[in-house]
Structure 1
Amino acid sequence: MYDLHTHTSRSDGQHSPEELVTLAAEKKLQGLGITDHDEIGGIERALAQAAIAGLDIIPGVELSTSHRGYDVHILGYFIDYGDAGLLRFLHTLKDQRLNRASRIVEKLNHLGLTMSFDAVLEEAGEGCVGRPHVANALVREGYVTTFQDAFNHYLAEDKPAFVPKPELAPAAGIAVIHQAGGLAGLAHPGQNLTAEVVLEIIKLGVDAIETIHPKHSGERQRFFQALAEKFDLLQTGGSDFHGGAKGLEKLGQYTVSRVQVDRLRDLVVERRKTWH
């Protein structure tokens, strides 16, 4: 079985790529999709460890886009992670993330907190900086007790230190994934999207929809499976692993079969025949 939605310390996960592969092997998984947020730096490291552990690694990414006020995450699978266009695109996103985090820190300081941007960068380490790293810095500096408190008091959308993400259209994310030779899938549609928005994203040209996800009830999973069949989309699934005790419980529970992965792989092969 394959978990096609996981995150490493290269974005907001708690485990290095090597640690994640080792954990997956311990869970007896056949393979993993490495899908860090707006970041591909963990893929080669995961591949190297997987060669030792005997796992199949699907090179991927999870792009953060927005549509009509909704956060829409686009998963990319079987991407050429050395593609120049993709690398330029991700570099731009990284700069935008740094700018956003800096503005959040400015707002926190205006609220009377003494928070340095370096403290946030230290939390991010090698990863792509985001609000979770600001939250961790707030906990470490003693301004809040828990990670969730940081969002509840400062970082959530309706809180005083919130800074909106730069607008990136889903169509742009889908296009850059296709240009990098990959397949584009709509991530966890049941988490925050209305049925109307899901249909609009499907019409933009995604190849797959994530039907299996911890945030999907059985009813929602069946709904999205029917939707995938109606629009002739492939189906993906995974634990959305970030680490922690709850994450470790989920790793290996939300999976797709080798047959489903082979369908994705076969479509990539067919597409690439037409590109060359």
Structure 2
Amino acid sequence: MLFDTHVHLNVSQFDEDRDEVIARAEEAGVKFMVVVGFDHETIPKAIKLAEENENFYAAVGWHPVDAIDMTEKELAWIEELAAHPKVVAIGEMGLDYHWDKSPKDVQKEVFRKQIELAKKVKLPIIIHNREATEDIIQILKEEKAEEVGGIMHCYNDSDAYVQDCLDMNFYISLGGPVTFKNAKLPKDVAKVVPLDRLLIETDCPFLAPHPNRGKRNEPAYVSLVAEKIAELKEISYEEVCNATTENAMRLFNITPHK
């Protein structure tokens, strides 16, 4: 049984065959998913998918690339949606220094506001980080994000930062890049992260794992991530599946249905 902690089945890339994608995930043993909404269009669709599928849950937040578009109105909207019974996290949020749509100071302000909101509604947070690790860790510390903890989503940085994340009550989530032949960083991280603080994800439709790299990613492929982690940690595939599912249940405070 697998838990894909970060999917974007709510985006247009799945409009033509979403039901088939979900069916393939079930066949691959993916029972649970968190559908992540990150803007005006994707947030309602994330909640709708969670309402329609018993073992789907939603996360609601504002992506750092679009931070410049977020107002107090959007923040209040996210707070309102946080009360929905299928919403289990706030995010994805964070910093993205790769794209230049939103100035860094605006991204930081929106990031801090969402951490504050998560603490108010008592939900964990999902962190998007692109080329901004040190600033993210500094803000998480300053905002006392350890009060809610959360996920370092699709972690792709040095293992030198892992302990800082663990100390702040965060889980490390690995995705497709851990399977890439020349991706040393996530492989090193997979080896050092304690099994009880590890999560897996696809971030579909992005970052498809080997041998599907470059194609549209989908939740069924999270099994390839689990297989690679099992190889790197020199443990069984079943151990990885069981531990990462239990970790996600614990973080998101989910009680599985009988």
* Larger-Rg structure: 1
Q: TM-score, normalised by structure 2?
A: 0.50
Higher RCO, Cα 8 Å, sep 6+: 1
